[in-house]
Structure 1
């Protein structure tokens, strides 16, 4: 059965969804996962689907490798990530230089009806992604396959993505106000089945278990309408802040 929420979310940008998650559910990160780059796109449209999660671990991991590529559910976003010890908060955000997704896998995923792929690591065969018109997002690019280095060990499991934030700290003696920052290591989780929305801005995840989809989508629609009215006022030369207050104050949360 077609997923109606996928159809509705396809009309929104990643920014629209992030605004909704921030304003309705108080998520300061808006569900946005940083540092991903668009390697191929879907004609400028948003890529939307349910997360089909795949966990990669070192080749030495005692768990056997799993075949994830031949069981992709239709309408899913294939989401690949490493175990935390293979992740880093600094670019290139993983210690693995090998690619874990390429052209052949993209072709197979597309045949099964996947909406796209997100890789918290490296990919290769970008020209094949483009020729297939298959959307792919990743941290980086690689040229070497993953054989003997890492392997997929689990499907449909939570993925913990290591990232960081620059957190303002109280300045030390002799430092100017606001000059002291500390990088804080944080972890963001993607659950199997979460809704994923990607576009040129990157990826936003909707934590499905904690979100009323009807409420979120209704807010996003109202927010877009309000922004259109603000944009109209700005084009007429009216003050932006007054216009935002006029239209955004009416949004229901």
Structure 2
């Protein structure tokens, strides 16, 4: 799997989404919408993280029926993983802060993807730790929500049908976030290699003055 993850680093989330759609992973192609890069810089740079999902489900603090994990979720996260957090919808507090990034980085976690809010932006950026989130906040986690279940399937975004399972592969970069089912990784890599080569030919032709329609007909067959 390590070599496969290295191969995936060659391809953008856009290219991977195209591959998943061609493989029949519709209607969203694994895309998790409306989550953006906040650290090391907001929506700029060449940050790209690739790794197996370590999933965390948050619930509202008032929820007394859901289970409670035996250890802090960042302590439980695996080296080389991407922590993926599902927060209750519409909460205004952050679920990730600077201390969590410090611990995650020390453990060798690749980064965090948050279906919710983050705080302490300057701290994450000073650590150069990759943080992708829906938005930001100044309010803390523990006053409003709490961790409930670790390494369970989670659905990110109220509008996306994508379910992230533990050990699915997460790829996140400037363009967005995508989840690759772990049994499709090799097929995605082969598909990306094929169609990126075709698009490279299209780009050269268009830059040389060829029309889009004729170029697509020649190289894409459409």
Q: Is the 8 A contact 1:12 1:46 kept in 2?
A: no
Residues of 2 paired with 1:245 and 1:20: CA distance? 19
Identify if the C-alpha distance between structure 1 residues 127 and 71 changes in structure 2 by more than 3 Å, giving closer, same or farther: same
**1:69 partner SS:** helix
Q: Is the 8 A contact 2:28 2:162 kept in 1?
A: no
Query: Which has the larger displacement, 39-48 or 51-60?
Result: 39-48
TM-score by length of 1: 0.80
Task: List alignment gaps of at least 5 residues for structure 2.
Answer: none
Residues of 1 paired with 2:207 and 2:113: CA distance? 37
Computing the radius of gyration from Cα coordinates, the structure with the larger value is 1
Identify if the C-alpha distance between structure 1 residues 133 and 194 changes in structure 2 by more than 3 Å, giving closer, same or farther: same
For residue 26 of structure 1, report the CA deviation from its aligned partner: 4.2
1:245 is aligned to 217
Q: Is the 8 A contact 1:15 1:201 kept in 2?
A: yes
2:82 is aligned to 77
TM-score by length of 2: 0.91
For residue 202 of structure 1, report the CA deviation from its aligned partner: 1.4
Using CA pairs under 8 Å that are at least 6 residues apart, name the structure with larger relative contact order, 1 or 2: 2
Number of equivalent positions: 216
For residue 131 of structure 1, report the CA deviation from its aligned partner: 1.1
1:229 is aligned to 201
Q: Which has the higher helix share?
A: 2
1:183-202 equivalence runs, <5 A? 187-202=161-176
CA-based RMSD of the aligned residues comes to 1.8
Identify if the C-alpha distance between structure 1 residues 249 and 224 changes in structure 2 by more than 3 Å, giving closer, same or farther: same
Task: List alignment gaps of at least 5 residues for structure 1.
Answer: 88-94, 165-185
Residues of 1 paired with 2:81 and 2:155: CA distance? 19
1:134 is aligned to 129
1:92 is aligned to none
**Correspondence for 2:68 among 64, 67, 86:** 64
Q: Is the 8 A contact 1:10 1:45 kept in 2?
A: no
Q: Is the 8 A contact 2:36 2:133 kept in 1?
A: yes
